Structure 1
């Protein structure tokens, strides 16, 4: 099934014509639980990975937990609609937890499926995203990994990996992604309006428009940040959202070039403030507004993943040279 974003509550460039030069396309991925294959773009499914290629591992020291969840217990609990039971953390020396830890595959995207997906090094057209399932240091930091490929060359590999390594226990239920198929859809987006993301006069116009709408229509009135600028959920390209951190400068650590947003991963695709972006196919036409949204929890967290404390994970790459190391930002 396709996914169709409803028209915006108002025409952005009609009420705020100064935004026209800043319009950018973003591709909403709309992940939904399903059975993706290794040759598909997806979240949480099997990767297109040559059997003779080493799986990425995190070699840094990791925090030990007191209890955790086995992947099997998580899958069984999800199938029954229950919460998984935790168990004691395995003792030191347990294979897969001591020494290098296998990364968890979060997603893979083919450029043939996802409009606007930037090319990688050597015109790579397949990108795979990983996260270390364990935390690092006293601030519980996370480590991510990006792997670029040429899809045609990888698909000609003699055999593919069918049983990637995984840790025997996870610290949280939301470390295990739910296999999801994607429904890519291009939409227009506009920058986050704060600090110097836009000219000061234009931000003042946006604030004044928001205030007037609030005064006229009350707290449920559409506003720029929630309803007109950046959609929630997984998306490719467009602009980063900065709800938790405020706007940040993200430059390439190797050449200092301003980096571009490759991908945003987000645990939630709908909440009380962003319900206007919920696709038409996920609404009950007999109702309007928030009340029309079907499958609340299912829709809000289709991938079952979380990033930080319900933040967005922005993945940035260098437009001057995509072989330069990517950068990650939670916001």
Structure 2
């Protein structure tokens, strides 16, 4: 099934003609629970990983985060999380040591979160050497007193990898994860390109334009109440998983993201979002996930499989932005929670 974003509740360029010069495109991925294969773009499904290639483990010092895994007292077994989800119940937690959990300084397998093929996802940037398949991983544990997370990006040539023929059927996984939302739900994608506009704060747009947007937002609330459409929530950047476009800065405010190797500005590769909507952004929910006889939030159907299909969370319900260097895609990416 395709996914179709409704027209915006307000024609934003009619209200702010200057925004036409800043219009961009982003690809909404619309993950929904399903059964993707290793040759599909997906969140939470099997990765196209050669069987003779070692699976990545979190076991070496990393830049800016050389702390060991935080000690844990209890957690959830991945296979029990899957069984509980299938049964519609909450999994049972287990004491860490009794379940054979690793010591804080032991290597831990990364959890594969997603993979995207350029053939499936319009606007996906090319990787080093023209790589057209990107795979995203996360260590299931936090590191150090600031509870930092480690992520990993793996680029591949899809054609060369697929010609290898033998792929890992069952990747290594940790015996326990600290939170149920560390394990992604397998989701198929329904990519859709939509227009988007920059976050309106600080110097992301001209100051006079931001002031007009703020004044317009205030007038909307005064006239229509707290559920009136706002620029940030309903007109600029869609929620959820997406590729390209503009970063949202709801938690941190705008940040200048530069390459640690060469100092060049970085571009947004993708955004991973825990939720596909909230009270301010529900107007972005596709028509196919709505009951046409109802209005607003009440029209959205199928509950969690639509509102939080991947089951993943990033920080305290924030977006994970993955940036890559514009000058050299081989330089390390940067991970920003916002």
TM-score (norm 1): 0.97
What corresponds to 1:121 in structure 2?
128
SS in 2 for 1:187: strand
8 Å CA contact retained: 1:96, 1:166: no
Report 1:253-292 matches (<5 A).
253-292=260-299
Report 1:96-175 matches (<5 A).
99-175=106-182
Write out per-residue CA displacement over residues 239-283 of structure 1, whole angstroms, 9 at most, x where no aligned residue: 000000111110000111110000000110011111100000000
CA distance 1:12–1:109, change in 2 (3 Å): same
What corresponds to 1:213 in structure 2?
220
8 Å CA contact retained: 1:121, 1:148: yes
Moved segments of 4+, more than 6 Å: none
Q: Cα RMSD over matched residues?
A: 1.4
Report 1:290-305 matches (<5 A).
290-305=297-312
SS in 2 for 1:257: coil
Task: Tell me the distance in 2 between the aligned counterparts of 1:112 and 1:139.
Answer: 38
Deviation of the 1:230 alpha carbon? 0.4
Alignment gaps of 5+ in structure 1: none
**Residue 58, structure 1, aligned to residue 58, structure 2:** yes
What corresponds to 2:74 in structure 1?
67
What corresponds to 1:251 in structure 2?
258
8 Å CA contact retained: 1:114, 1:184: yes
SS in 2 for 1:227: helix
SS in 1 for 2:155: strand
Deviation of the 1:99 alpha carbon? 2.0
Task: Tell me the distance in 2 between the aligned counterparts of 1:145 and 1:321.
Answer: 17
SS in 2 for 1:148: strand
Deviation of the 1:98 alpha carbon? 5.3
SS in 1 for 2:164: coil
Deviation of the 1:298 alpha carbon? 2.3
Write out per-residue CA displacement over residues 147-192 of structure 1, whole angstroms, 9 at most, x where no aligned residue: 0000000001141111111100110000000000000000000000
CA distance 1:27–1:96, change in 2 (3 Å): farther
8 Å CA contact retained: 2:99, 2:175: no
CA distance 1:240–1:247, change in 2 (3 Å): same
TM-score (norm 2): 0.96
Across the two proteins, how many residue pairs are aligned to each other?
Answer: 331
Task: Tell me the distance in 2 between the aligned counterparts of 1:130 and 1:257.
Answer: 25
Deviation of the 1:92 alpha carbon? 10
